[in-house]
Amino acid sequence: MARTAAVVGGGIGGLTTAVGLAARDWQVDVFERAVDLPGTGTALGLWPHALQALDRIGLGEQVRAAGTAQQGGALRRADGRRIAAIDTEQLQRRTGDAVHLLTRPRLLRLLASAAPAVTFGTAVRSTRELSGYDVVVAADGVGSALRAERFGPRYGPRYTGCTAWRGTVDGPCAELTETWGRGALFGMTPQEDRRTNWFASARAPEGERAAAGEVIELRERFAGFPERVREVLARLTEDAVLRHDLYALAPAPPSYVRGEVALIGDAAHAMTPNAGRGACEAIVDGVVLAECLQDRRVADGLARYDALRRGPAARVARMSRGMAALAMSRRLPGLRDAAVRTALRVAGPR
């Protein structure tokens, strides 16, 4: 008899898990609160470890073909001076793969095409709504109801002190750039349809929104940034700007498993976006969980998943917090820049 899994959340982590389990002859039901897959969204950076995890469920080459390989990059000051280069060639030599940039909707469509059918418009708030499953996968995001049910409110999301904006504009972008000012940053990356993906972040009170509109707010906040940033800002329209406050788990849950429930993605380790690795870690979670459950008793497989994933994901979350602290620093930019250059020289992009 096939073993059964309920996957709560039809995002990147949930769909990856569903593909991996279904390939191992599990019967999988996926429940997603949204009414459909998103039709719009900005680009994600898929790092080599995530691409190689996708290879293990047969989707790596499709994702590489759909995306755009990142060709170098740079961190810059608001006055345009370079802080450090991002050596993507070094990363490719070490791993055999480049970072590929792909929009979230495109990635989700690729995953959904290989996954069992998703039941949309269904918000699962408790495991009591799910009966008879061998495993329940909590892929329900940073505000996970299933994590709260199993671990309590202590391990919930906390506001990071920063808000974020993102969107796309017409026209190509040659390389990744991220420009750091005092308590604010603005970044751009290529997108696979020859558009420019942009993102910005700044310190702000939780829940604050611009009374005069987000486009005006952005143009005022980043008025002193380089010309290329101002060119992008000049092309923005209010309906194409997304704004959301940034949350992370603090503290993180003491385990990614409780009973038959496994946490993955943001439900397990929601982190600041500064390392650009949140989606990647969700992909790896899903593939590793499916592999751990293949030839083991469920309890043993879940324990193995926790042992393999909690430490690495926690390290990425710490790295991302450190990068956020540097990027959002309001003081001593010279010392900040030196610290960044040293970190990149010692560790390189990973």
Q: pLDDT tens digits, residue range 259-290?
A: 999 999 999 999 999 888 999 999 999 999 99
Q: Looking at the domain assignment, is residue 37 inside a domain?
A: yes
Average pLDDT, the chain: 92
Q: Looking at the domain assignment, is residue 337 inside a domain?
A: no
- Indicate yes or no: pTM above 0.85: yes
Per cent of the chain over pLDDT 70 is 95
* Stretch (H or E) spanning 291: helix 278-292
Task: Give the CATH number, domain containing residue 148.
Answer: 3.50.50.60
Q: Looking at the domain assignment, is residue 216 inside a domain?
A: no
Q: Is the pLDDT of residue 336 over 80?
A: no
Residue-wise pLDDT for 239-249, tens only, equals 999 999 999 99
Residue-wise pLDDT for 30-55, tens only, equals 999 999 999 888 889 999 999 999 99
Distance of CA 310 to CAs 1, 253, 265, 305, 322, Å? 31, 9, 11, 8, 18
Contact of 119 with 31, CB cutoff 8 Å? yes
Q: CA angle 281-286-288, nearest 5°?
A: 90
Q: Looking at the domain assignment, is residue 232 inside a domain?
A: no
Cα dihedral 220, 226, 227, 232 sign: negative
Q: Provide the 3-class DSSP secondary structure of residue 15.
A: helix
Q: Looking at the domain assignment, is residue 54 inside a domain?
A: yes
Q: Read off the pLDDT band of 349 (50, 70, 90).
A: very low
Structural domain count, the chain: 1
Q: Looking at the domain assignment, is residue 93 inside a domain?
A: no
Q: 59 is in which domain, residue-wise?
A: 4-64+104-158+249-331
Q: Looking at the domain assignment, is residue 273 inside a domain?
A: yes
Rounded CA-CA distance 235/228 in Å is 11
Q: Looking at the domain assignment, is residue 167 inside a domain?
A: no
